[in-house]
């Protein structure tokens, strides 16, 4: 049975007429066909403060002026709020949105992907993605999984609720440090501020602390709070760079439970990039399946049959219609969860085998969307 949606302007997948669809055009043609009842990212926003207030700092300036900024935190760019995404930017430089305050690990991922970009801090992940949609920035970085805590499920949901394209990936080594004001010792710390995900990554280390854990919006923001408030009884778990920016000392580094701690980020943009075959590419898709025995096996087999490696498989309950009732004459009615399946496979949409695999997958899918086709980050 034909699926509800598939990107057919990227890589030349043969168009298939959907049962009920909404077409959206891109510079490469029809980028995807989506079912009307899927989550919509559109929403209204009020007028905001002037655009100048939210300009990010250039990466070079952040390093050059780190010590000066630590003495005057007010000179750092303030994170965008949801009300600030009502105007577009005319800046010629690449502007990359990230969640958190300057010094966040997400900003480090943005600077790794685009070393000379203007990094724009945002209050929430939703704001970063919306900033791309309304042309306030060019791209956004979104953490999607970590080697210690696994997938970041909320951000998988955001991939579907915003009409953006994955155009790249960044794998960032994350070293967590305990930061405090100059002169503060370990025995002085009664509270430790950080993001909940950071606490999870160093559970073993912080279990030895007698201090109270206090959750905060982001790691760098926790460091900024301690610096601005002059909190001599508190510490923050954040990056070493955040310590430099806000004038804090490192009391302990490499707090994470395992020395190798990698977070994978996705780079999102308004338009997809052109798939190629001159280097390894990865394609990310999301789909739902028809009812029936063995349908998930059949869906995964379309890739195995064409020697396509799967690098990621993730499932999320379908939020719009999460439950499915199945009548059994012998045992009565049974209730099941309906799922969205997210898959990353290592092939370019410019390859015939990838196009054929997705065409085959449509036979078992009720909904199928190509989230992006992008180069695989290779170790240098």
Give the per-residue pLDDT at 80. 60
Q: Which residues of the chain have pLDDT under 50?
A: 1-71, 85-92
Nearest to 306 by CA among 264, 268, 346, 253: 346
- Among 54, 105, 199, 265, the active-site one is 265
- pTM here is 0.75
> What confidence tens digit (pLDDT) does each residue in 263-321 have?
999 999 999 999 999 999 999 999 999 887 889 999 999 999 999 999 999 998 887 66
Give the per-residue pLDDT at 103. 97
User: Which CATH number does the domain 177-252 belong to among 3.40.50.2000, 3.40.190.10, 3.40.50.280, 3.40.50.10090?
Assistant: 3.40.190.10
CA 151 – CA 285 distance, rounded (Å)? 16
Give the per-residue pLDDT at 33. 36
Q: Is 265 a catalytic residue?
A: yes
CATH superfamily name and code, 22-37+275-375: ACT domain (3.30.70.260)
Nearest to 21 by CA among 373, 369, 371: 369
Asked if the domains at 51-162 and 177-252 fall in one CATH topology, the answer is: yes
Q: Is 277 a catalytic residue?
A: no
Give the per-residue pLDDT at 77. 61
Range 51-162 has CATH code 1.10.10.10: no
- Among 98, 199, 216, 263, the active-site one is 263
Place of tokens 């780079």: 267
Place of tokens 């005319």: 90
Domain boundaries, the chain: 22-37+275-375, 51-162, 177-252
Give the per-residue pLDDT at 206. 84
> What confidence tens digit (pLDDT) does each residue in 135-170 have?
999 999 999 999 999 999 999 999 999 999 999 999
């Amino acid at each position: 049975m034909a699926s509800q949606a598939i990107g057919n302007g990227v890589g030349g997948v043969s168009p298939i007429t959907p049962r009920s669809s909404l077409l959206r055009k891109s510079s490469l043609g029809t980028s995807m066909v989506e079912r009307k009842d899927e989550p919509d990212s559109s929403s209204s926003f009020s007028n905001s403060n002037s655009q100048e207030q939210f300009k990010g700092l250039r990466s070079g300036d952040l390093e050059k002026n780190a010590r000066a900024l630590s003495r005057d935190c007010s000179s750092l760019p303030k994170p965008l709020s949801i009300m600030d995404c009502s105007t577009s930017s005319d800046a010629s430089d690449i502007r990359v949105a990230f969640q958190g305050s300057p010094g966040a690990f997400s900003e480090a991922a943005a600077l790794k992907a685009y070393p000379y970009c203007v990094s724009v801090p945002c209050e929430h992940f939703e704001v970063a993605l919306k900033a791309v949609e309304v042309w306030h920035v060019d791209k956004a970085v979104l953490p999607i999984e970590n080697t210690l805590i696994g997938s970041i499920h909320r951000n998988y949901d955001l991939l579907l609720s915003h009409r953006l394209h994955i155009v790249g990936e960044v794998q960032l080594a994350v070293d967590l440090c305990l930061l405090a004001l100059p002169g503060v010792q370990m025995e002085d710390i009664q509270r430790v501020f950080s993001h909940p995900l950071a606490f999870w990554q160093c559970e073993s280390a912080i279990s030895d602390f007698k201090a109270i854990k206090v959750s905060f919006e982001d790691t760098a923001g926790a460091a900024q709070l301690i610096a601005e408030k002059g909190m001599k009884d508190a510490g923050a778990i954040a990056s070493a760079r955040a310590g430099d920016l806000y004038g804090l000392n490192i009391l302990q580094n490499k707090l994470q439970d395992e020395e190798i701690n990698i977070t994978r980020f996705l780079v999102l943009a308004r338009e997809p990039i052109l798939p190629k075959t001159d280097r390894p590419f990865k394609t990310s898709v999301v789909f739902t399946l028809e009812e029936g025995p063995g349908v998930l096996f059949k869906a995964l087999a379309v890739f195995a049959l064409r020697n396509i490696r799967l690098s990621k498989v993730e499932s999320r309950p379908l939020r719009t219609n999460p439950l499915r009732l199945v009548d059994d004459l012998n045992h009565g009615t049974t209730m099941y969860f309906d799922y969205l399946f997210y898959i990353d496979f290592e092939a370019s949409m410019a390859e015939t085998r990838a196009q054929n695999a997705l065409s085959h997958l449509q036979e078992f899918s009720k909904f199928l969307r190509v989230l992006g086709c992008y180069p695989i980050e290779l170790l240098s």
